[in-house]
Structure formats: structure tokens, C-alpha cells
């Protein structure tokens, strides 16, 4: 039997940033997000639209498809750095023993 390795550590992590006042609630970002991070909010922005909000932030890969499809440049995704604990481990091993 073949067992696949856990992919949780191998999947890229990202962050979604939303400019709520630019959004016209077209829903493209929600529809085209491959990891289903977004949903349209029940709250209104000042224009009377329902902007998206992040419902599963841990699933974001930072691919920026949301930003590429947004006609109003109201949202973008970005890759995040490694977790601080992992960065600390890398820093300790990079110097080597003296």
C-alpha cells in the first residue's frame, strides 16, 4: 500500500487583502478562488455592495487569482513568509557549529 506524504507543510501559504470600498460585489474572486477562501459578506460597503470576506484564511495559497479576476482592483493575494518558528530553526542551522 502506498501512503502519500502529508501535504500541509508543502502547500504554499498566502494572504488575501481586500479594499472594501472599491468592491462592487461581482463575485469573480469568490467564484474563481481555487481553495474556496472567500465568500460574499452580508455586510454592505459605502456603495451598498456586499464585498467578499475571508472565511478560510488557512487555505489561502497566495496565488492571486482573486486579484487577476477583479475588475476593480479591490482584492489581491500574496505569498507569506515561512512561519517564525521555522525561520528561527533555519537561522540556527545556517551558521553551523564552530
- Domains in the chain, CATH or no CATH each: 14-79 (3.30.70.3270)
Q: What is the pLDDT of residues 47-75, one digit of tens each?
A: 999 999 999 999 999 999 999 999 999 99
| pLDDT greater than 90 at residue 15 | yes
C-alpha pair distances (Å), 92 with each of 4, 64, 82, 95 = 30, 32, 15, 6
| pLDDT greater than 80 at residue 89 | no
Q: What is the DSSP letter of 61?
A: -
The C-alpha atoms of residue 32 and residue 68 are separated, in whole angstroms, by: 10
Q: What is the pLDDT of residues 17-37, one digit of tens each?
A: 999 999 999 999 999 999 999
Residue 49: per-residue pLDDT: 97
Number of other residues whose CB lies within 10 A of the CB of residue 89: 12
Amino acid at each position: 500500500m502506498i501512503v502519500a506524504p502529508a501535504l500541509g507543510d508543502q502547500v504554499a501559504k498566502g494572504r488575501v487583502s481586500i479594499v472594501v470600498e472599491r468592491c462592487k460585489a461581482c463575485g469573480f474572486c469568490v467564484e474563481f478562488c481555487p481553495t474556496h477562501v472567500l465568500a460574499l459578506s452580508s455586510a454592505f460597503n459605502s456603495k451598498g455592495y456586499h464585498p467578499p470576506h475571508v472565511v478560510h484564511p488557512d487555505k489561502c495559497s497566495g496565488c492571486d487569482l482573486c486579484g487577476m479576476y477583479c475588475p476593480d482592483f479591490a482584492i489581491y493575494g500574496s505569498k507569506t513568509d515561512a512561519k517564525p518558528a521555522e525561520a528561527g530553526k533555519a537561522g540556527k542551522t545556517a551558521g553551523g557549529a564552530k
